[in-house]
């Protein structure tokens, strides 16, 4: 009697479970973790779900009209962000953390869903859409409060149902966007206000990057979830781990830039892999 060889996917899952069971896992998550929650890639790193040209820091800071249109689209898109719920992948990460298997969570996502799913001590590498920062005075404020103020001065602004695409993105003509009314910073009366996220062309604050490097250096392994690692802001942690001999595992549908550096590679949906992993390790 001969035993059937294990399936390749099974082997990769076993290797992943063994690595995570060793503990001190630092998670680096990307947009792929939130797609099951209906979140398009708002920051536009991958661009695949994004219809409009991604906003750059340069355009946002130098082009008042471009900035105005950004806020008009954001006003509409915020409803989708606000209503998004964490998915099984987020909850599985929180379960692994509760089982004391994680050494930290670094996310490239700006949707706050790790925290909503029960994770704590999450480093938001690219900031969070739930806050705004005033480029004039530096005041950081709550996005929900801004939304209340925007609703008050834009009671009738918004797309009709037929103008919303299946992915929730509002296809608003520029003339309509110009009718949007933006508000000023409550702290200084000026502005401009910017979402507290890192745009294209903007660097991640140095202390935040250094904090992430320190976490990676203390990690038993680095687990990449749902990122193609296209941008260097995340990929550099994979390079750093690999250089230090810290094992790297990547769970993502489709190839990633870090595949050559990965010790374990699982090419399967996070919504299947992570709950199975948590069930196996958190009992």
Give the other-Cβ count within 10 Å of 135's Cβ: 16
If one asks whether residue 185 binds Zn ion (CB under 5 A), the answer comes out as yes
Please, which residue, 38 or 136, has the CB nearer to Zn ion?
136
Identify the active-site residue in 68, 90, 114, 126. Answer: 126
Candidate ranges 30-38, 77-85, 130-138, 202-210; the one touching Zn ion (CB under 5 A): 130-138
Binding segment (CB under 5 A) for Zn ion, from list 25-33, 134-142, 238-246, 266-274: 134-142
Binding residue for Zn ion, selected from 18, 100, 137, 232, defined by CB under 5 A: 137
Residues 186-225, one symbol each (x = binds Zn ion by CB under 5 A, - = not), give: -xx-------------------------------------
Near Zn ion by CB under 5 A: residue from 63, 139, 163, 267? 139
CA distance 223 to 207: 22
Beta pairing class for 122-124 and 264-266: unpaired
Rounded (5°) CA angle 222-214-130: 80
275 within 8 A of 94, measured Cβ to Cβ: no
Residue with tokens 């989708």: 80
Q: How far is the CB of 181 from Zn ion (least distance, A)?
A: 18
**Interface region with Zn ion, contact rule CB under 5 A, candidates 21-29, 131-139, 144-152, 263-271:** 131-139
CA 174 to CA 168: how far, in whole Å? 18
State the greatest distance between any 2 C-alpha atoms of the chain, in Å, as a whole number.
80
DSSP label at 81? H
Please choose, out of 13-21, 83-91, 118-126, 128-136, the segment that lies near Zn ion by the rule CB under 5 A.
Answer: 128-136
Beta carbon nearer to Zn ion, 139 or 263: 139
Least Å from the CB of residue 173 to Zn ion: 31
Nearer to Zn ion, 108 or 132 (CB): 132
Decide: 90 and 116 in contact? Cβ < 8 Å. Answer: yes
Q: Which is nearer to Zn ion, 172 or 182 (CB)?
A: 182
Residue with smaller CB distance to Zn ion, 17 or 183: 183
SS3 labels along 160-218: CHHHECCCCCECCCHHHHCCCCCCCCCCCCCCCEEEEECCECCCCCHHHHHHHHHHHHC
Distance from C-alpha of 61 to C-alpha of 79, rounded to nearest angstrom: 24
Nearer to Zn ion, 21 or 187 (CB): 187
33, 81, 110, 134: residue in contact with Zn ion (rule CB under 5 A): 134
52 carries an active-site annotation: no
Total of residues contacting Zn ion (CB under 5 A): 7
CB 165 within 8 A of CB 119: no
Interaction site with Zn ion (CB under 5 A): 134, 136-137, 139, 185, 187-188
- Catalytic residue numbers read 126
């Amino acid at each position: 009697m001969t035993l059937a060889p294990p399936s390749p996917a099974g082997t990769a899952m076993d290797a992943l479970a063994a690595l995570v069971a060793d503990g001190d896992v630092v998670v680096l998550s990307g947009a792929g973790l939130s797609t099951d929650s209906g979140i398009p890639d708002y920051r536009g790193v991958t661009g695949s779900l994004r219809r409009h040209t991604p906003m750059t820091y340069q355009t946002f800071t130098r082009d008042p009209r471009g900035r105005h249109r950004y806020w008009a689209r954001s006003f509409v898109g915020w409803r989708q962000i606000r209503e998004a719920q964490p998915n099984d992948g987020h909850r599985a990460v929180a379960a692994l953390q509760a089982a004391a298997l994680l050494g930290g969570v670094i996310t490239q996502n700006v949707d706050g869903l790790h925290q909503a799913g029960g994770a704590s001590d999450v480093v938001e590498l690219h900031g969070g859409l739930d806050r705004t920062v005033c480029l004039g005075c530096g005041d950081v404020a709550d996005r929900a409060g801004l939304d209340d103020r925007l609703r008050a001065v834009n009671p009738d602004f918004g797309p009709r149902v037929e103008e919303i695409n299946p992915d929730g993105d509002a296809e608003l003509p520029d003339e309509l966007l110009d009718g949007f009314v933006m508000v000023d910073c409550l702290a200084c009366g000026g502005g401009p206000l910017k979402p507290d996220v890192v745009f294209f062309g903007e660097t991640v604050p140095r202390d935040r990057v250094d904090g992430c490097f320190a976490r990676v250096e203390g990690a038993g392994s680095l687990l990449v979830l749902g990122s193609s690692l296209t941008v260097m802001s995340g990929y550099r942690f994979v390079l750093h781990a690999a250089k230090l001999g810290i094992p790297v595992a990547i769970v993502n549908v489709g190839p990633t830039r870090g595949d050559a550096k990965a010790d374990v590679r699982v090419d399967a949906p996070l919504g299947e892999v992570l709950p199975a992993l948590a069930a196996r390790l958190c009992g």
